[in-house]
């Protein structure tokens, strides 16, 4: 429907935050898209996948298709979820009015659970991204918009094609290959991001395939991906200052990518990111998780055996490129004091410039 603010305020089913937002607009403001809130009208909410347990639902805002946020963003569908939030693909109607091309107006919004700790983590992520942007760190996705919806914090980000986990699963299903050149490009781009973040004073602390977003160039005649065209590191909500020295809390880093010093509750620094970077590089090159432990005790055993098992693991055909193999080996040194830094790994991947000759 279309109408003035005064007309829309008479509509049934408006949420409190909708009413509060509308009352801040001048009377000449026209509404392009105002569906009634299905949740407010008592319809059964749509749930992602099979996640219907009370623990999963606690504090979550489950949004239906065609619901609106801020009278600007139209929900299309759910695209992902984690411990702290749900993520939805939405249409930015303000951008649509300006650009006239709906395909260019898709963005994603991350909606935290209604929990003060998760809201605080969202605000922390926004602060970290602003700091990284100010330091010129490449390969991040600064937020487009931030706002509150009830007790949930919402952050709007640019839409990208896949996260790395989704892409590797797709590649497995379709038989698409990931060339050494594509892997090298990916490693150079993302290592530059982490080297910049570490230099700016930040540790990501939750590097895993789901936290890399990629855009791709696809051959229209086949299901195969021709190349990666862009990559961004996301989910900086667990980031912490580079100089933190205290033993980390019980949960930090996802288990498969958790560094030995975190497992052993030792002092930590930016080298925990480097370990995770090496695990992701191995997984991208081989299609296999490097440390698929069921629990921390098993992970500790795998780390202890790694110096013995490493040479055999490095014989995988996916690691035939010597630079990729060297990258993984340097990044997964069990002792953080002998592990390469992100800057050293970036130098490993960066071709040396030819010397300049005098004219």
- Look at residues 131, 157, 88, 112 and name the one whose alpha carbon lies nearest to residue 239: 131
Using left for φ > 0, alpha for ψ between -120 and 50, and beta otherwise, residue 207 falls in: beta
Asked if pLDDT for residue 6 goes beyond 90, the answer is no
Walk across the sheet containing 152-158 and list its strands. Answer: 68-69, 73-81, 85-92, 106-112, 152-158, 145-149
| Tokens linked to 46 | 């749509």
321 classed as catalytic: no
Average pLDDT over residues 128-136: 95
Among the residue ranges 69-83, 106-120, 203-217, the one predicted with the least confidence is 69-83
What pLDDT sits at residue 54?
62
Q: Which CATH number covers residue 201?
A: 1.10.510.10
- Look at residues 6, 16, 344, 71 and name the one whose alpha carbon lies nearest to residue 192: 344
What pLDDT sits at residue 2?
52
One domain, residues 208 and 332: yes
| Tokens linked to 215 | 């855009």
Place of tokens 């991350």: 110
Among the candidates 158, 174, 189, a domain finishes at 158
One domain, residues 207 and 288: yes
What pLDDT sits at residue 84?
82
What pLDDT sits at residue 36?
45
One domain, residues 185 and 328: yes
Range of the domain at 276: 162-349
One domain, residues 91 and 209: no
Where is mean pLDDT largest: 37-46, 217-226, 266-275? Answer: 266-275
E strand residue ranges, the chain: 3-4, 30-31, 68-69, 73-81, 85-92, 106-112, 145-149, 152-158, 162-163, 202-203, 212-218, 225-233, 240-241
In a domain, 119, yes or no: yes
pLDDT band for position 41 (cuts 50, 70, 90): very low
One domain, residues 134 and 195: no
One domain, residues 81 and 174: no
What pLDDT sits at residue 33?
46
In a domain, 339, yes or no: yes
In a domain, 248, yes or no: yes
In a domain, 80, yes or no: yes
One domain, residues 332 and 193: yes
In a domain, 357, yes or no: no
Q: Which is catalytic among the residues 32, 55, 145, 206? A: 206
One domain, residues 253 and 327: yes
pLDDT digits (tens, 9 = 90+) for 149-196: 889 999 999 999 999 999 988 887 877 778 999 999 999 999 999 999
Among the candidates 134, 158, 182, a domain finishes at 158
Domain count, the chain: 2
One domain, residues 16 and 94: yes
In a domain, 358, yes or no: no
Burial grade of 85 (CB within 10 A; 0-12, 13-18, 19 or more): buried
On average, the pLDDT of the chain sits at 84
Among the candidates 140, 158, 176, a domain finishes at 158
8 A C-beta contact, residue 104 and residue 155: no
What pLDDT sits at residue 224?
58
């Amino acid at each position: 429907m279309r109408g003035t603010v005064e007309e829309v305020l008479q509509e049934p089913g408006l949420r409190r935050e909708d009413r509060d937002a509308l009352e801040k607009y001048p009377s000449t403001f026209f509404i392009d898209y105002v569906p009634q809130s299905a949740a407010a009208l008592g319809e059964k909410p749509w749930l992602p996948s099979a996640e219907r347990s009370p623990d999963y639902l606690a504090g979550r805002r489950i949004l239906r298709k065609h619901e609106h946020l801020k009278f600007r963003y139209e929900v299309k569908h759910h695209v992902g979820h984690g411990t702290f939030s749900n993520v939805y693909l939405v249409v930015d109607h303000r951008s649509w009015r300006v650009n006239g091309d709906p395909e260019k107006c898709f963005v994603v919004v991350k909606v935290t659970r209604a929990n003060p700790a998760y809201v605080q983590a969202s605000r922390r992520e926004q602060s970290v991204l602003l700091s990284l942007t100010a330091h010129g760190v490449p390969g991040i996705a600064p937020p487009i918009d931030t706002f509150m919806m009830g007790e949930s914090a919402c952050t709007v980000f640019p839409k990208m094609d896949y996260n790395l986990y989704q892409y590797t699963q797709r590649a497995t299903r379709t038989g698409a290959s990931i060339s050494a050149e594509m892997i090298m490009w990916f490693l150079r781009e993302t290592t530059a991001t982490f080297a910049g973040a570490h230099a700016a004073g930040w540790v990501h602390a939750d590097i895993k395939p789901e936290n890399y977003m990629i855009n791709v160039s696809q051959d229209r005649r086949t299901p195969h991906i021709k190349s990666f065209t862009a990559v961004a590191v996301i989910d900086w909500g667990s980031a912490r200052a580079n100089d933190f020295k205290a033993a980390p809390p019980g949960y930090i880093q996802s288990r498969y990518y958790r560094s030995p010093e975190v497992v052993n509750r030792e002092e930590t620094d930016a080298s925990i990111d480097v370990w995770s970077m090496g695990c992701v590089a191995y997984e991208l090159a081989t299609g296999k998780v490097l440390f698929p432990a069921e629990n921390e005790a098993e992970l500790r055993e795998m780390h202890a055996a790694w110096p013995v098992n490493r040479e055999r693991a490095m014989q995988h055909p996916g690691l035939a490129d010597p630079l990729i193999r060297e990258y993984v080996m340097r990044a997964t040194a069990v002792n953080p004091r002998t592990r390469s830094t992100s800057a050293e790994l970036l130098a490993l991947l960066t071709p040396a410039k030819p010397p300049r000759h005098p004219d």
